[in-house]
Structure 1
Amino acid sequence: IAKRPGTNAVVIADKIIERLEQVRGSIFPADVEMSITRNYGETANEKANELLFHLGLATVSIVLLIWVAIGWREALVTLVVIPTTILLTLFASYIMGYTINRVSLFALIFSIGILVDDAIVVIENVARHWAMQDGRPRTQAAIEAVAEVGNPTIVATLTVIAALLPMLFVSGMMGPYMAPIPTNASAAMLFSFFVAVMLTPWLMMKFSGSGNGGLSHAHGDSHISRLGRMYMAVARPLLIRRWRSWMFLIVVAVATLGSMALLYTKNVTVKLLPFDNKTELQVVVDLPEGASVEETDRALGAIVQRLSDVPEIASFQTYAGTAAPFNFNGLVRHYYIRSSPELGDVQVNLVSKHDRSRTSHEIALDIRERLKGLDLPRGTAVKVVEPPPGPPVLATLLAEIYGPDPETRRAVATKVREAFESVPFIVDVDDSFGVQAQRVRLAINQDNLEYHRVEQSDVYDTVRALYAGPVVGYSHRGGGRHPIPIRLAPAKNEKVVNERTLATPVPANALPGERGVVELGDVVSVQNERASFPIFRHNGRAAEMVTGELAGAFEAPIYGMLAVAEAIEKADWGDVPKPTIALHGQPDDENTPTLLWDGEWEVTWVTFRDMGGAFIVAILGIYILVVAQFRSFKLPLVILTPIPLTLIGIMLGHSLFAAPFTATSMIGFIALAGIIVRNSILLVDFIRHARKPGRPLLDVLLEAGAIRFKPILLTALAAMIGAAVILADPIFQGLAISLLFGLASSTALTVLVIPAIYVVLRGGKEPAAANAPKAAQ
């Protein structure tokens, strides 16, 4: 049962179950057991409720953060701002045709940490101006506070949108899958700006009470907060001497480059998407061609018996010689055409993830180990298949072999399969051509045919009637109902070529008037031979395939590819030509063998290639925006400098959690470019406006950092809170790690690196060293 586009899977599933209970006893007998093995509506509802809980948790956490850092009235403002922006974003999502699903809800959770940034900046600046107690009316002070951060906030908001929107143009299967994230996040940022500059000041005025004082007592009499004074204590030693600033920048640069070494040492691996925690698995069984459906059923029964004591398994479903109801994975792997007698599937249904401690991936690894050494017919291929979290592929590791002729392709593919099997972490190895099955050919003996005066067509008709079971009549039922066809066909176990079938009479009436008969064995000869190899083509080009999955030390295709390439180099190829390895695109010349990597690698290549292009476009768009704001071509380079600093936290975070760097991690890295640049813009804009003729540069830098440190820290903490609530999700953990640890490292370093660059470029040899103690006070 498939749902129509735009309908609710949860509602449809509930109504189907209700309807089946209503027809119990009428459409099917009441004593027939009916059980639901897969309910994707229930799964979708469970995931949606979990994500909505995380959304509420993130909102409450950010409100509490503002309450502690600024005041309770400002927290009330935030409590109104966040739902307002989310509702506007949902409306925009509805207009754009998106539904509430797992990815779109993750986009909202991801957005909640950054959509409050503009409001935090405005709230903190208004509260700071009111806390100055300089005699200005509250309305005038609020207007001037919003105006002070207005222009940089506009540019900062546009930089985040510029960082996110290019990801919308990622091609391949991953593009539509991830599209809700840049779309909804960009809409949230746009709405958040208008809410921040229009609704937030009005709410501040409403919640402020009477008088000209500030909203809370946390500010005291000084315009420098306690956090600002802490910042000055840390920054002054680094900025007081130019050589110290140089040393600090060099250390930060070395740390950034050093963090990238974690990829080289494989402490951080690269993968398209991590494994999800599903409630189902599948064991796919391919017996040698020619095996009977009974043999296939016995093999499936042996597998079920071997796995029956796995505690997390709720039930099994076996399908022998017929296709199982295919899922998202089977759509690409073409499981719906698995209807030959030698093909079988075992659907493994797991208990709810709340009722087990192991993930479905850990259970799959256990199942794969348990099935080793199972007594199955020679040549049987058994694969443990996990539903993928993202775009499905034919196999995780897929090598396509091109060459001048079928014999060369199969010989090369056989050697490549040996290379696959030599790698410990490559499992479930198979190929596309397999082993030739035995078949029986009935060949007409032309000499005997002429001697017995038998027509070829009579031989063909006899064989067809013997094995195909022709229709010899109909049983008419009346009442407008279709008649029942009557067929004459032998039993299934009698459809063989033996003495009995060869004794079947064949009419010998080649000459008019003759009515003789001969036996089928008199005019045909029985030949045992090998069946032909299957033929596979990719885009019209003949190719053989070697497939495998990865489990163990590495689970990303790139590491399997490197290991196989090393095994190919070490192998003794003898008379078989060694193939040329290609990473992308079918070969132009097929006169020499070529190994083309496909499968998950192809999707990974396209995704990271397009995301890399999106990152370059994002940087260029941010640069243009900053140039337009500051009317300088050099100053934007200073503002963009903190972007690489995110790599320190990102790589250390992935290493700490033993998590692979995935496509969602890349999304977090690209989004961080906009988030970090907005902090740089706020800091640099304050520095530019605070610089006066004759005022020491060190005073300006320390004051700018001290005043801007609190809103920068609060916006970073808000985004980190939004990331922390999705840290446990297996798919979007990479995004959470990138935001959480990338923000932690880059925020701590940005407020120090930007002033240090100013000191290095403009500070002279001794930047106001004599006045430094006074400035720090």
Structure 2
Amino acid sequence: HRDHSRGLIMRFIQNPVAANLLMLVLLVGGAVSASRLQSQVFPTISPGTVNVTVPFPGATPAEVEESITRRVEEAVLGIDGVKRVSSTASENVGVIVIETNDFADRQLVKDDVESAVDRLSDFPPENAEKPVVVAPKPTSGVVTLAVVGDVGAPALRRAAEQIERDLLTQPGVSLVSLSGDRDYEISIEVSEATLRRYDLTFGDVADAVRRSSLDLAGGSIASDSGEILLRTNKKRQTGEAFESIVVRTLPNGSVITLADVAEVRDGFVREQLINLYNGRPAVFVDVLRAEAEDVLKVKAAVDVFLADYTPPPGIQVVEFRDETRLLRERVNLLLRNGLFGFALVFTFLVLMLDLKLAVWVSVGIATAFMGGFLLFGVLGVTITMISLFGLIIVLGLVVDDAIVIGENIDAEREHGWSGEIAASRGAHGVMAPVVVGVLTSIAAFAPLLVTGGTFGDVTRAIPLVVISVLLVSMLEAFCILPSHLSHGGPWSRGVLAKIQARVAGGVAHVRDNLVSPGVTFAARWRYATVAIAAAFFILCLSLVQNGQVRFIFFPQIEGNNISASVTMPEGTPFERTDAAVRRLTAAAAEVADAVREETGEELFVSVTSTSGGYAARGVGPGAESGFRASENIGQVRIELTPFGKRRMPAVEIERRWRAAVGDIEGAERVALSASITRFGDDVDFELAHQDEQQLIAAAEEMKERLRLIEGVNQIEDSFDLGKRQLVFELTPAGSAAGLRPADIAVQVRQGFFGAEVQRIQRGREEIRVYVRYPEATRASLESLDEFRVRLPNGDRAPLLTVARVEESRAYSSIERIDGRRVVSVSANVDEAVSTPNIANAAILQTVMPELVAKYPGLRWVQAGSSREQNEDLADIGSAFLIVLLVIYAMIATQLRSYLQPIAILVSIPLGVAGAILGHLVLGFPLSFISIFGIVALAGVAVNASVVLVDLYNRRRAEGLAPIAAAAAASARRFRPILLTTLTTAMGLTPLLFEKSPQAQFLIPMGVSLGFGIVVSGFMVLFVTPAVAVIMEDLRGLRGGARSIPDSDEVAEANA
């Protein structure tokens, strides 16, 4: 027998000051640490890429592919740490994205990529800009300010720029960018007639600007009074200043200035852009958060600025798209459900245990959580929607440990032991199984610490939170709780004591009349019991297999915004793009009006539209922020009324909006989304073929096949025709005149695209200066008839006499993966109809084999989120196999048996079966969120089973036969199992009935843990003893004997 007057537990029992001080340190330290933890909506996720961008103004996608992307690909393929190389050759720019292996050092990869690009000879090509190699740093949106007013684009831009400058002076704000605006540009426009009149060329005008607008250091003079620097400061900053530049000096001494031969336009680039906020012109100021910044502090700094800001006359500044609202709603959800669940747990504990025990178990839960916050600061855990989810998961595990130990101490008191001895005996009595139970829970979550990819980055906070709180809870349960329970008598008095006595009598009645006989029956008919349990498990698994319970890897998290984007073909007139955007806006208004008529509720706070551009706001996992301008794209963003004032879910609003929009004539793609957690398209396949026509045909047929799959929508491919293009080829007359193709190319480029002559810095903006034809000339095909080419001998000849022109149309962009051209076919899935898993399975089983058979030589690979999901699941599956072996080893070591761990581990699949059944009953699909609940459930079930089997072994050691020992152990463990089962379920009950969108993300976890704990609790009582007795049978067969208990032994055990 153990000496319970010694050891660490007894030291804290005999020194309550130490126990109370330890509790105080955990509570106060945790509170201080919590106040200092960084807050963000989602965990910071490294993009995991190195990007090479090479601007090539005026170049076609084919030119960019040939001279930029292919050469960079060949240089970087094979670099250590590179997982995949993809590139996109578009008009004017080539972008190469180098994906790095999980846990690779991106900075080292970036350095190697830079070196490889630098080693390329004759790179970049003429007229292309210097390559930019970056390892993108993650940023995310905090809030957007709309600068609204009918005062004209220049005035709105100036006001937005001033706000940008002022915000950057605010402490705590470091990233601010403008979106929905055009770049500044100075365009020096010279007509062909003027050039001929003055016998000038574009080169003459460009050279004059370069010579006359410059800042140049001229050295220094060392005088007696000191060194004097020599400089020429004549760099022009405004269009008006350029007009005085002398282009040519005539023999009579008079001069021709730029104003004489050209019109100088100082304004915005030619591409059109319209931004509207609730129907009024606007420019947007996006406030972003860098990796190390606190989203709530950044938002607070913006609020301070707005409180003191006075906008210019005619301009209004409106705050919208406040992404911190998501985090605040999640915190409020946690507090609301946590407090309500905690109240239910406390009430139930009070009904079944002495008031003192209920109070100190509850205080222990709070201490474990605050102690966890103390460790969060050390481990770098931040307050995010994901880490808060981890706190909800761990609640059931913490309750379990405290109840098991507290209840056992209470049982020792009932057996007549004094306070200190009862506390020591109670804690030591379950110490080994509780420690093993906690360690198995830690082991179950441990693989998520080393999972790679986006999924690993998103979920890594969950195991850190769970493990931290579990470690502190174990410290509290063995060092603090026994000290509190060892001193003084019971606290329950009067009516409360009577109620507790009646509840205890009811529990005893159930134990003696249902549990004990039931366990005896299950143990006698143990093989039938196990067979029934196995059949139940297989039946529940089949619910998933046949699709009655669906599986979605990462469920959509509904936000406060819905967005829609439209992409028209390259070269589409801006007016058609604007009409498509207005169609989206009108359809949204139709939905809002219809709902207002139906329910009287207002759906929208604001509607923002952009014609000629697309804004990406980084909020969800891996999201990035930025703005892309192009006349063939548009976007509508809707900020929804907060859910408390709006009953209709965002997903339903999205469906109605999609139906109201219908088909937009001529649009290449229309995409709508109400989710903030998309990792990419639900369906994404990359096709490759040596024959380009075969590749295009295969992609078209695949899109047609996808349209036949139920629930699949937003089907598109990456094969888009680009703008019409005119290709020039020298005629015999041109060759005879001494022209080369490069001569034609340079002169045509100068006239129509423009010759970039300078870049000037004006404030925060870098402004490009071009010399080119007037806009009217550049917009007309007839101007080619007037274009004159300067010949080598100085004469001029009409363009169409020295070159023939052919019209063609190529791709808008060319995608390449690992050195070969590909066409991507992608789609999304309406989760109300089907799931990505079902859609992808149908494609893999039927569509792809038939396409490969029809188009020999076709190669394909699954890409996007599906590919990453498969990789993540494979990694997690391998890791959990190892974890099961570790858990088995820990249990086997504690029980000193190779067979008995099987009796404990059977509780896990039975809990999984309960979780699946819960999803079926409540109509939720399984997801990785559900899996977290199952993992937490496994910890609770294993903990209860270990304690039960440990007690079973003790009863066997005392001489009871197997069935009698099984009945005795289950009867003794009935109350703590009932307590842990019902307290965990009650703690999750408020979450299960929560209606807010934020809760829908968490409910599957609650379903898994709540339903699973009820089923596994029941199974632990009846199936685990049956399996334990079967293990005795196996041991007996091996030893040639078999124990057969009699009814007297069972009755004696129950007594």
TM-score range, shorter chain: 0.7 to 0.9
Residue matched to 1:525 = 804
Q: Is the 8 A contact 2:369 2:469 kept in 1?
A: yes
Maintained 8 Å contact 1:759/1:767: no
Secondary structure of 1:731 counterpart: helix
Q: Retained in 2: the 8 A contact 1:699–1:775? A: yes
The residue number in structure 2 matching 1:585 is: none
SS in 2 for 1:467: helix
Distance 2:310 2:845 in 1: 61
- Alignment of 1:749 onto 2:1014: no
Which residue number corresponds to residue 411 of structure 1?
Answer: 697
Measured in 1, the distance between the counterparts of 2:411 and 2:336 equals: 34
* Structure 2 CA distance for aligned equivalents of residues 482 and 234 of structure 1: 80
Distance 1:471 1:204 in 2: 82
| Alpha-carbon separation, structure 2, partners of 1:774 and 1:278 | 61
CA contact (8 A) 2:408 2:427 kept: yes
1:581-620 to structure 2, matched below 5 A, reads 592-620=857-885
SS at match of 1:324: strand
What is the aligned counterpart of 1:737 among 990, 1007, 1015? 1007
Q: Report the alpha carbon displacement of residue 186 of structure 1 after superposing the two structures with TM.
A: 1.4
Select which of 901, 915, 919 maps to 1:654: 919
1:395-434 counterparts in 2 under 5 A?
395-434=681-720
The question of 1:95 aligning with 2:374 is answered no
| Equivalent position of 1:768 in the other structure | 1046
Query: What's 1:588 paired with?
Result: none
Q: Is the Cα contact below 8 Å between 1:283 and 1:345 reproduced in 2?
A: yes
Taking the TM superposition and a 5 Å limit, the aligned residue runs for 1:334-483 are 336=626, 338-374=628-664, 376-377=665-666, 379-389=667-677, 392-393=679-680, 395-434=681-720, 436-437=721-722, 439-450=724-735, 459-460=744-745, 462-470=747-755
Q: What is residue 587 of structure 1 aligned with on the other side?
A: none
Structure 2 residue 406 is matched with structure 1 residue 123: yes
Say which SS state the counterpart of residue 629 (structure 2) adopts.
Answer: coil
Q: Counterpart of 1:123 in structure 2: which amino acid?
A: G
Per-residue deviation, 1:338: 3.9
Tell me which residue corresponds to 2:310: 24
Q: 1:666 to 1:610 in 2, by over 3 A?
A: farther
Q: State the SS of the aligned residue for 1:323.
A: strand
Shift in Å, 1:146: 1.9
Go from structure 1 to structure 2 and tell me whether the alpha carbon gap of 1:685 and 1:12 turns closer, same or farther (over 3 Å shift). Answer: same
Contact 2:617 2:625 in 1 (8 A): yes
Q: Does 1:33 align with 2:316?
A: yes
Structure 1, 408-417 or 692-701: larger mean CA deviation? 692-701
Question: Compared with structure 1, are the counterparts of its residues 745 and 517 closer, same or farther at alpha carbon in structure 2 (3 Å cutoff)?
Answer: same
Match of 1:287 in 2: 568
Check 1:612–1:577 CA distance in 2 against 1; reply closer, same or farther (3 A cut).
closer
- Counterpart of 1:318 in structure 2: which amino acid? S
The amino acid that maps onto 1:230 is V
Aligned partners of 1:240 and 1:698 also within 8 Å: no
In 2, Cα distance between the equivalents of 1:492 and 1:228?
92
Q: Do the aligned residues in 2 keep the contact of 1:139 with 1:205 (CA within 8 Å)?
A: yes
Q: How far apart, CA to CA, are the structure 1 residues paired with 2:756 and 2:962?
A: 100
Query: What is the rounded CA distance, in whole Å, between the counterparts of 1:373 and 1:723 in structure 2?
Result: 44
Q: How far does the alpha carbon of each residue in 1:592-634 deviate from its partner, in whole angstroms, 9 at most, with x for none?
A: 3133222221232123223323332222111111111111111
The one-letter code of the counterpart of 2:513 is: A
Conserved in 2, the CA contact under 8 Å of 1:403 and 1:594?
yes
The CA RMSD over aligned residues, in Å, is 3.3
Residue number in structure 1 paired with 2:237: none
Note closer, same or farther for the CA distance 1:256–1:461 as it changes in structure 2 (3 Å cut): closer
CA 740–417 in structure 1, closer or farther in 2 if over 3 Å, else same: same
1:323 aligns with 2:614: yes
Report the counterpart of residue 835 of structure 2 in structure 1. Answer: 556
Change beyond 3 A, Cα 1:539–1:54 = farther
**Residues 231-277 of structure 1 deviation map (CA, whole Å, 9 limit, x = unaligned):** 34224155248663332222121111111110122111111121222
- When residues 569 and 471 of structure 1 are mapped into structure 2, their CA distance, relative to the original with a 3 A threshold, is closer
3-state DSSP of counterpart to 2:559? coil
Residue identity opposite 2:654 in structure 1: A
Counterpart of 1:595 in 2: which secondary structure? strand
Question: Do the aligned partners of residues 6 and 566 (structure 1) sit closer, same or farther apart at CA in structure 2, a change above 3 Å counting?
Answer: closer
Q: Secondary structure at the match of 2:543?
A: helix
Distance 2:606 2:586 in 1: 12
How far the C-alpha of 1:67 sits from its partner, in A, is: 0.9
Per the TM alignment, residue 461 of structure 1 is displaced from its structure 2 partner at its CA by: 5.0
The answer as to whether partners of 1:557 and 1:600 remain within 8 angstroms in 2 is no
CA drift at 1:765: 8.4
2:933 aligned with 1:668: yes
Greater Cα shift, 188-197 or 335-344 = 335-344
> Per the alignment, do residues 234 and 14 of structure 1 end up closer, same or farther by CA in structure 2, a change over 3 Å counting?
same
Three-state SS of the structure 2 residue aligned to 1:279 is strand
Partner-residue secondary structure (3-state), 1:208: coil
- Please give the alpha-carbon distance, in whole angstroms, between the structure 2 residues aligned to 1:193 and 1:547: 49
Specify the alignment match of 1:633 in structure 2.
898
Is the Cα–Cα contact under 8 Å of residues 240 and 772 in structure 1 kept in the other structure? Answer: no
Residue 956 of structure 2: which of 691, 695, 698 is its match?
691
Q: Which moved more, 1:92-101 or 1:12-21?
A: 12-21
Pick from 940, 947, 969 the counterpart of residue 682 of structure 1: 947
Distance in 2 (CA, whole Å) between partners of 1:481 and 1:418 is 49
Q: How far apart, CA to CA, are the structure 2 residues paired with 1:483 and 1:538?
A: 33
Matched, 1:498 2:781: yes
1:2 — aligned with what? 288
State the distance in 2 between where 1:192 and 1:481 align: 53
Give distance in 1, aligned partners of 2:818 and 2:853.
24
Moved more, 231-240 or 279-288: 231-240
User: What SS class does the counterpart of residue 341 from structure 1 fall into?
Assistant: strand
Q: Report the AA paired with residue 162 of structure 1.
A: A
**Matching residue of 2:581:** 300
C-alpha distance after superposition, 1:78-97 (max 9, x if no partner): 23211211111001111001
Q: Once the 2 structures are TM-superposed, how far is the Cα of residue 230 of structure 1 from its aligned partner? A: 1.2
Q: How many angstroms does 1:292 deviate by?
A: 2.5
Number of residues of Structure 1 aligned to a counterpart in Structure 2:
742
Q: CA-to-partner distance for each residue in 1:654-705, whole Å, 9 max, x for gaps?
A: 1112211111212222232222111111111111112256534443322211
- CA separation of 1:439 and 1:241: change in aligned 2, threshold 3 A: closer
Distance 1:475 1:606 in 2: 48
Corresponding residue SS for 1:35: strand
396-405 vs 454-463, which deviates more?
454-463
Distance 2:740 2:687 in 1: 46
Name the CA distance, whole Å, in 1 between partners of 2:771 and 2:460. Answer: 58
Name 2:264's counterpart in structure 1. Answer: none
Partner SS, residue 348 of structure 1: strand
Which has a greater percent of strand? 2
Structure 1 unaligned spans of 5+ = 580-590
State the distance in 2 between where 1:88 and 1:331 align: 30
1:112 lines up with 2:395 in the alignment = yes
Give % identity.
23
User: In structure 1, what is the equivalent of residue 455 of structure 2?
Assistant: 174
Greater RCO structure (CA 8 Å; 6+ sep): 1
Tell me the amino acid that sits aligned with residue 753 of structure 2.
Answer: A
CA contact (8 A) 1:365 1:551 kept: no
C-alpha distance 103-329 of structure 1, shift in aligned 2 (>3 A): closer
Instruction: Give the distance between the partners of 1:329 and 1:151, measured in 2 at CA.
Output: 42
**Match of 2:925, as an amino acid?**
P
Unaligned stretches of 5+ residues in structure 2: 1-286, 593-602, 1034-1041
